[in-house]
């Protein structure tokens, strides 16, 4: 067998293993994916090194190095992937291949950063898109996007915590160790309306423990919750979430995520895993029938500045709000609503509360005052 025929055969075997590995990874068969990625890397790196000193074999030489280095990232062989990038750049590759090799090097550095936390990125893509008057071709009003990106991350993390059987966390940050590396990452925006791709962290394939709740399971559950919220199916949503704290939290955050019907008229979500595509959307402001109380009975609205109060006292947290006349109202915060309170410390808001007793108010929601709504 000639050298070129052997290289081509090794490359074909590597691509066959790689295609099967990507398919297994998307299906959640992580043990199979890990084994196949290692085999693909073994064959592709052998092919690349056979052309290591043949500087006249461009662009094949550098293309093989780029491909092998990328597979090295997929199976966690970061040091060897760096060597392959260096070998590729040592030759005389076309400029576009040079850029691709540099891109792989950036990918290696980022993957090593994740690796220090025993994490990698799940291969499935999860997209959020915004449409409305505040959205142009690949551009969006910053406040509309940043607020929703923050809310989306909170919802995904809370969903992962709930599905992994963790009690509702009233304070503090999510524990990365107990969440098995579940973290949210964003890619650059896409120009169709305004869409970003979200990738979610997970443990290395080799470190998955029995009973692990996978990223696809968390995303699919989130999409179902979003659709039930948008459809006004409060009973189905409450039954699925099966916790007052998690239900209150999801409702309050989803309301912040939903369109206002003015600047944003649709917030869409799409999960893409190979050929499988799942969608959900928020197509209108929060459905009134999902409200936790009847606003016609025992409900008051207070406009003023919100402050922390009695934060360290045992029991239900209490916040304070000083209204426009200087009167201070103390309002208890039910389980699950802390996430919507914290962003408003020191700000002027319109607080909605129900009168539980003659001296006790309980928080229902917080909104921007009507004269400041975006």
Tens of each residue's pLDDT in the chain, 374 residues: 688 899 999 999 999 999 999 888 877 777 888 899 999 999 999 999 999 999 999 999 999 999 999 999 988 899 999 999 999 999 889 999 999 999 999 989 888 876 665 666 677 778 899 999 999 877 889 999 998 999 999 999 999 899 988 899 887 777 766 676 678 888 776 665 688 888 887 766 545 545 567 888 889 999 999 999 999 888 899 899 988 899 989 988 998 899 988 899 999 998 877 777 889 999 988 754 344 444 445 788 899 998 876 555 556 788 889 888 889 888 988 888 888 888 788 888 888 888 888 778 988 888 777 655 55
Query: Angle of helix 3-27 relative to helix 30-50, nearest 10 degrees?
Result: 160
Region of residue 361 (phi > 0: left; psi between -120 and 50: alpha; otherwise: beta): beta
DSSP secondary structure, 328-347, as one string: EEEEE--TT-HHHHGGGTTS
Q: Are 184 and 196 in contact (CB under 8 A)?
A: no
pLDDT of res. 299:
83
H/E element, 317: none
Q: Are 183 and 176 in contact (CB under 8 A)?
A: yes
What phi, psi does 77 have (nearest 5°)? -90, 70
Cα–Cα separations (whole angstroms), residue 157 to 8, 241, 341: 45, 14, 17
* Helix spans in 181-287 (H): 215-231, 234-241, 244-257
Q: Are 194 and 130 in contact (CB under 8 A)?
A: yes
Residues 6+ apart with CB under 8 A from 221: 159, 163, 240
Angle at CA 271, nearest 5°, toward 270 and 272?
115
Strand partners, 79: none
Q: Is the overall model pTM greater than 0.75, yes or no? A: no
**Domains of the chain by range and CATH?**
3-116 (1.25.40), 125-290 (no CATH), 299-367 (2.40.50.140)
pLDDT of res. 300:
86
- For β-strands 361-367 and 318-323, DSSP reports them as unpaired
Residues 6+ apart with CB under 8 A from 84: 45, 48, 65, 66, 68, 69, 72
- Look up residue 132 and give its two tokens: 């409305």
């Amino acid at each position: 067998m000639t050298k070129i025929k052997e290289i081509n055969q090794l490359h074909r075997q590597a691509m066959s293993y790689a295609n099967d590995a990507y398919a297994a990874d998307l299906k959640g068969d992580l043990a199979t994916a890990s084994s196949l990625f290692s085999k693909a890397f073994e064959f592709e790196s052998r092919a690349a090194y056979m052309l290591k000193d043949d500087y006249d074999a461009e662009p094949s030489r550098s293309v093989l190095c780029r491909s092998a280095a990328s597979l090295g990232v997929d199976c966690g062989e970061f040091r060897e992937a760096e060597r392959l990038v260096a070998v590729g750049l040592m030759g005389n590759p076309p400029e576009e291949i040079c850029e691709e090799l540099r891109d792989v090097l950036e990918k290696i550095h980022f993957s090593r950063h994740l690796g220090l936390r025993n994490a990698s990125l799940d291969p499935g893509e999860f997209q959020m898109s915004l449409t409305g008057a505040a959205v142009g071709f690949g551009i969006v009003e910053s406040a509309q996007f940043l607020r929703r990106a923050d809310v989306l991350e909170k919802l995904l993390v809370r969903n992962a915590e709930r599905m992994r059987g963790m009690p509702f966390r009233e304070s503090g940050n999510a524990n990365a160790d107990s969440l098995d590396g579940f973290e949210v990452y964003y890619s650059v925006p896409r120009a169709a309306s305004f869409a970003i791709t979200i990738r979610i962290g997970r443990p290395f394939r080799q470190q998955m423990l029995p009973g692990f709740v996978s990223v696809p399971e968390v995303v699919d559950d989130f999409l179902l919750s979003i659709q039930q919220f948008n459809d006004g199916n409060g009973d189905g949503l409450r039954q699925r979430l099966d916790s007052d704290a998690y239900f209150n939290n999801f409702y309050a955050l989803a309301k912040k995520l939903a369109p206002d019907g003015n600047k944003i008229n649709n917030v869409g979500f799409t999960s893409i895993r190979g050929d499988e595509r799942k969608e959900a959307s928020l197509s209108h402001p929060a459905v009134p029938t999902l409200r936790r109380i009847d606003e016609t009975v025992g409900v008051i609205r207070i406009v003023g500045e919100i402050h922390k109060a009695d934060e360290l006292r045992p029991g239900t947290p209490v916040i304070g709000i000083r209204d426009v006349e200087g009167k201070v109202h103390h309002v208890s915060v039910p389980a699950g609503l802390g996430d919507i309170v914290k962003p408003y410390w020191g700000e002027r808001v319109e607080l909605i509360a129900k009168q539980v007793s003659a001296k006790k108010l309980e928080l229902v929601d917080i909104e921007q005052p009507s004269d400041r709504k975006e």
